Amino acid sequence: MDILVSSLFAGLLIGMVLALVALGLTIIFGVMDIVNFAHGEFLMIGMYTGLLTAQATGVDPLFTLPVAGAVGFALGIICYYGFIKFVMRGPMVAQLLGTFGLMLFLRNLALLIFGSEDRSLHHGVLVGKSFELGMGIIIPATKLAAAGLSVAAFVAVWLLMNRTKVGKALTATALNPQGARYMGIPTERMNALAWGIGGGSATIAGALIVNFWSVNPFVGLLFTMIAFAIVALGGFGSVPGAFFAGLVVGLITEIPGFWDFMSYTFEFEWMMDVPMTSFKYMWVYVAYFVIMVFRPRGLFGWKQ
């Protein structure tokens, strides 16, 4: 029983963080109809930013979030003006390939600068601490904080999108770029802003994740694929969809836990033999495939 409950908790907590990871992707897609393959690389950069800032200044990693956010925002805007703007003129193939090139570039730049070894944080008020909820359920403090702050960041971006003038201009650009341009909205700047917000939310998520996840230059792809699955499930371009889909995908990553629960509870020998933890992320890919094929509008809606 405790395996089940703790898997559930772990899944929901990581799901909240993953929702933040996917948020940037869905905003960029919603505004510009472009899929950013480099999204996970933004997150990886956020992880390194958080880690290095914390190590260099000695502050708690949780206080590095503003730095990570600023770096991601700037990076997003630089990428837009320096590269994406030009790719957008070409066909879809060029956009796919272009963001792919961006992904390779950022990944290998990180490899060149930081080397390929895994790095992780060893200090900070929360690292190593945990809460016990009874029934043997232990929740690491880092994950709890990451989940809470992710939700806060998510809500902040949601408010920005829905309650401010800039956010409304962004939404208008998403719905009808040409119409928005006629209304005097600087769509070019809106696109850049979408990339800024997209990059910033990804790097903040990265700085949160690095508290409990070691970083190397290759972590990005996994998060890109997870973000794709979440965005597909939540509906491409839907912000609230991304949140709930994030929780669902978080639970999917805990399938090995549920599997263990089933095999121990019912004592299925064959279930114990399957190395389910090796398939931890495979289910995310399977989920993407199944969702796209059988429910292409996502579970929660679709960009109108």
Interacting residues with another protein (CB under 8 A): 35, 83, 86-87, 90-98, 100-105, 107-112, 115-116, 217, 221, 225, 228, 232, 275, 278-279, 281-282, 285-286, 288-289, 292-293, 296
Token pair for residue 211? 């508290």
Please state the closest distance from residue 163 (CB atom) to another protein, in A.
Answer: 30
The kind and range of the H/E element at 132 are strand 130-132
Please state the closest distance from residue 80 (CB atom) to another protein, in A.
Answer: 12
CB 143 within 8 A of CB 13: yes
Strand partners, 138: 132
Round to whole Å and give the CA distance between 198 and 192.
10
- What amino acid is encoded at 31 in this protein? V
Please state the closest distance from residue 87 (CB atom) to another protein, in A.
Answer: 5
Residue positions counted in the chain: 304
Round to whole Å and give the CA distance between 85 and 262.
50
CB 140 within 8 A of CB 130: yes
CB 228 within 8 A of CB 25: yes
Q: Would you say 9 or 29 has its CB closer to another protein?
A: 29
CB 220 within 8 A of CB 43: yes
Q: Would you say 88 or 141 has its CB closer to another protein?
A: 88
Q: Would you say 135 or 293 has its CB closer to another protein?
A: 293
Q: Which of 163, 183, 290 is nearest to 239 (CA)?
A: 163
Q: Indicate the pairing of strand 138-140 with strand 130-132.
A: antiparallel
Round to whole Å and give the CA distance between 10 and 176.
39
Please state the closest distance from residue 92 (CB atom) to another protein, in A.
Answer: 5
Q: Would you say 94 or 156 has its CB closer to another protein?
A: 94
Please state the closest distance from residue 125 (CB atom) to another protein, in A.
Answer: 35
Round to whole Å and give the CA distance between 74 and 80.
10
Please state the closest distance from residue 83 (CB atom) to another protein, in A.
Answer: 6
Q: Would you say 62 or 291 has its CB closer to another protein?
A: 291
Please state the closest distance from residue 123 (CB atom) to another protein, in A.
Answer: 28
Q: Would you say 106 or 185 has its CB closer to another protein?
A: 106
Q: Would you say 1 or 274 has its CB closer to another protein?
A: 274
